[in-house]
């Protein structure tokens, strides 16, 4: 396994982050435990979850599964860099969501209890909260850091200017601020190249791409459907819209002798700003198979051909749309 420092921090994390969103809704607890054990065995030390995962209001199903896995001991907690999130609705009362100081405090305590740990390594804001001032957010996070309950703070789904505002406000408080941004990023979703990635570079944030296969679109979807796999109506619409690109993409990967999912992950790993794409295996086979991406090296000609199939926004702003 390859490792990288998380942004400008001294924290070393594996270059794959194990996403746990399927644990509970799609993957049984027993299988989830086996996948997490195997991930550690393979050298993956970076796990991502969220208090809302499990998708039953206020239950924190996935965090509870992670907590029961930690409780087995054997160095599981000590070997794992655990990242979770705050923002989503965890109850019906008005302060049980978003980023008020009250909710940050209560959500952190609840996540610690569910995961049976005394600290969260990376506490991520799941979305920007336009109704809460940064002074309030950073005061709440600063208290958690001073108490030792949170070590690093990250963001998710922030725009570039949100990152800038957050960091400048943190700087005024002599607080480290954000250490990472978790964004939607894949060959099919490259809009963050305009402003989010430049902001991450400027402020020294690690980039953690979520949905690196664009919901399965980049994982050989045409060949899977041809083999008889049924696609959802939503996926069928995406395939119809992107059919020409998908046909060229899967041919490109076939000519390389590689699986499309592995090449899509390799493309992300080749970007120096990317710390660790989030892989969300439902099965052990998916987990082990994804490691092939580390063996794939894309030269300049390959990268140029990939850009032709999946063009980005044209570079960074403002040159992407102006002179």
Q: Is 122 a member of any domain?
A: yes
Is the predicted pLDDT of residue 71 greater than 60, yes or no?
Answer: yes
What was the pLDDT predicted at 154?
Answer: 98
Active site residue 53: yes
- Asked if residues 95 and 103 have their Cβ atoms less than 8 Å apart, the reply is yes
Q: What is the mean pLDDT of residues 188-198?
A: 98
Residues 6 or more apart whose CB falls under 8 angstroms from that of 31 comprise: 283, 284
Mean of per-residue pLDDT scores for the chain: 96
Return the structure tokens found at 313.
């926004």
What was the pLDDT predicted at 226?
Answer: 67
Q: Is 241 a member of any domain?
A: no
Q: Is 105 a member of any domain?
A: yes
| Number of domains composing the chain | 1
- Asked if residues 111 and 84 have their Cβ atoms less than 8 Å apart, the reply is yes
Q: Is 94 a member of any domain?
A: yes
What are 267-287's pLDDT values in tens digits? 999 999 999 999 999 889 999
Q: Is 101 a member of any domain?
A: yes
What was the pLDDT predicted at 224?
Answer: 81
* Distance in angstroms (rounded) separating the CA atoms of residues 195 and 311: 16
Q: What angle do CA 213, 85, 215 make, to 5 degrees?
A: 15
- Asked if residues 144 and 104 have their Cβ atoms less than 8 Å apart, the reply is yes
Q: Is 229 a member of any domain?
A: no
What is the 3-state secondary structure of 113-176?
Answer: HHHCCCCEEEEEECCCCCCCCHHHHHHHHHHHHHCCCEEEEEEECCCHHHHHHHHHHHHHCCCC
Q: Is 141 a member of any domain?
A: yes
What are 86-111's pLDDT values in tens digits? 999 999 999 999 999 999 999 999 99
Residues 6 or more apart whose CB falls under 8 angstroms from that of 218 comprise: 186, 187, 188, 212, 249, 260, 261, 264
What was the pLDDT predicted at 234?
Answer: 86
Q: Is 251 a member of any domain?
A: no
What are 219-270's pLDDT values in tens digits? 999 988 765 555 778 888 999 999 999 999 999 999 999 999 999 999 999 9
Please state the pTM of the whole predicted model.
0.96
| Options 53, 123, 185, 203, the catalytic residue | 53
Is the predicted pLDDT of residue 25 greater than 70, yes or no?
Answer: yes
Domain of 206, CATH number, reads 3.20.20.100
Q: What domain range includes position 92?
A: 3-219+259-303
């Amino acid at each position: 396994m390859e490792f990288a420092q998380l942004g400008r921090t001294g924290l070393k994390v594996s270059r794959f982050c194990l996403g746990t969103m399927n644990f509970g809704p799609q993957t049984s607890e027993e299988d989830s435990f086996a996948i997490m054990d195997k991930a550690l065995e393979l050298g993956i030390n970076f796990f991502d979850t969220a208090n809302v995962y499990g998708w039953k209001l206020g239950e924190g199903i996935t965090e509870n599964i992670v907590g029961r896995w930690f409780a087995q001991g054997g160095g599981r907690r000590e070997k794992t860099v655990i990242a979770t999130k705050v923002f989503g609705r965890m109850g019906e009362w008005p302060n049980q969501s978003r980023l008020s100081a009250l909710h940050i405090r209560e959500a952190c305590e609840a996540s610690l209890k569910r995961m049976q740990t005394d600290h969260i390594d990376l506490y991520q804001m799941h979305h920007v909260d336009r109704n809460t001032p940064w002074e309030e957010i950073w005061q709440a996070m600063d208290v958690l850091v001073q108490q030792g309950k949170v070590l690093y703070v990250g963001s998710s789904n922030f725009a570039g200017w949100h990152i800038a505002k957050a960091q400048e406000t943190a700087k005024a408080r002599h607080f480290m601020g954000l250490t990472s941004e978790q964004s939607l990023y894949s060959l099919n979703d490259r809009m963050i190249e305009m402003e989010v990635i430049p902001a991450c570079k400027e402020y020294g944030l690690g980039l953690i791409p979520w949905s690196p296969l664009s919901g399965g679109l980049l994982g050989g979807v045409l060949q899977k459907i041809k083999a008889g796999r049924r696609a959802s109506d939503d996926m069928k619409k995406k395939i119809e819209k992107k059919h020409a690109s998908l046909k060229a993409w899967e041919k490109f990967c076939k000519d390389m002798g590689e699986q499309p999912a592995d090449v899509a992950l390799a493309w992300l790993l080749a970007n120096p700003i990317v710390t660790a794409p989030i892989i969300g295996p439902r099965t052990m086979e998916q987990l082990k198979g994804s490691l092939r991406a580390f063996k794939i090296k894309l030269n300049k000609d390959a990268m140029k051909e990939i850009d032709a199939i999946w063009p980005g926004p044209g570079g960074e702003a403002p040159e992407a749309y102006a002179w």
